[in-house]
Amino acid sequence: MDKIIEIRDCTAVYGKNKVLDQVSLTITKGEFIVIIGPSGCGKTTLLKMMNGLIVPIKGEVLVKGQRLAECNLVAMRRSIGYAVQGAKLFPHMTVEENICYVPCLEKKLPKEERRMLAKKMLEMVELPAELAVRFPGQLSGGQKQRVGIARAMASDPEILLMDEPFGAVDEITRRTLQDELLALQRRTGITVVFITHDIGEAFKLGSRILVMKEGGIWQEGTKEELTEHPKDRFVSQLIGR
């Protein structure tokens, strides 16, 4: 099995508070990891450690076999997709420019290539190609979110990090987005790390689910393992059994 992300004994602090306490985690290529837990349990911190936005004070993070502390972080990030709640598109760029953002960081693509790439990515997230010329301010919440995913996927990354990407869209759109993401993941075999606070979403998407509490991984397993053998009341309450 190919290890793609390894977190070894990592401790992270925010100010004086320990947000992660000696966490270890190994993610295999092609897994769909869902992280769930209450606010402040450290799930976003754990995710941001994987692309070096947060650096642990103890322990080390390896992505694709390279230590983040030693590798070229900028180049590494370009090979990791990143999508967050509310999409956070660049408001001064068109949809096309947003989608082509990462590939263009390396070297500016010619106009024709950008157009083709935007078209391909919009098709992938099932948006009409006409949206390419619009600005984020002219899109609906669900459309923004899809563009956010298209932007994260444009450089064909091996890893996709998603921090509550569907948190700000309505229920119906969310379900569609979940289905599309799942199909996409199966089609491309991309490794996904996905944060949510919705247990239904976690069960639907995750091939492995990490339940986090108080800066640590409390329990992990598949949907069946969690529902059949919850570790304690905290987990059983979380999954609503």
Residues in contact with other proteins, counted by CB under 8 A, come to a total of: 27
69 touches other proteins (CB under 8 A)? no
Candidates 11-19, 59-67, 77-85, 123-131: pick the segment binding other proteins (CB under 8 A). 77-85
Candidates 62-70, 86-94, 189-197, 226-234: pick the segment binding other proteins (CB under 8 A). 86-94
Task: Please identify, using beta-carbon distances, which residue of 1 and 74 lies nearer to other proteins.
Answer: 74
Task: Please identify, using beta-carbon distances, which residue of 114 and 151 lies nearer to other proteins.
Answer: 151
Task: Please identify, using beta-carbon distances, which residue of 61 and 235 lies nearer to other proteins.
Answer: 61
> What strands, in cross-sheet order, belong to the sheet with 208-213?
80-84, 159-163, 191-196, 32-36, 208-213, 216-221
DSSP secondary structure code for residue 108 in this structure: P
Task: Please identify, using beta-carbon distances, which residue of 135 and 234 lies nearer to other proteins.
Answer: 135
Burial class (CB in 10 A: 0-12, 13-18, 19+), 92: exposed
Q: Which residues have C-beta within 8 Å of that of residue 11, sequence separation ≥ 6?
A: 18, 20, 21, 22, 23, 56, 57, 58, 59
175 touches other proteins (CB under 8 A)? no
Cα separation of 123 and 127, whole Å?
6
Of residues 28-67, those binding other proteins (CB under 8 A): 48, 51, 53
Other CB atoms within 10 Å distance of the CB of residue 169: 22
Question: Residue 220: in which H helix or E strand, if any?
Answer: strand 216-221
- CB–CB of 105/162 below 8 Å? no
101 touches other proteins (CB under 8 A)? yes
165 touches other proteins (CB under 8 A)? no
14 touches other proteins (CB under 8 A)? no
Binding residues for other proteins, per CB under 8 A? 48, 51, 53, 74-80, 82, 84, 86, 88, 90-92, 101-102, 105, 135-138, 151-152, 161
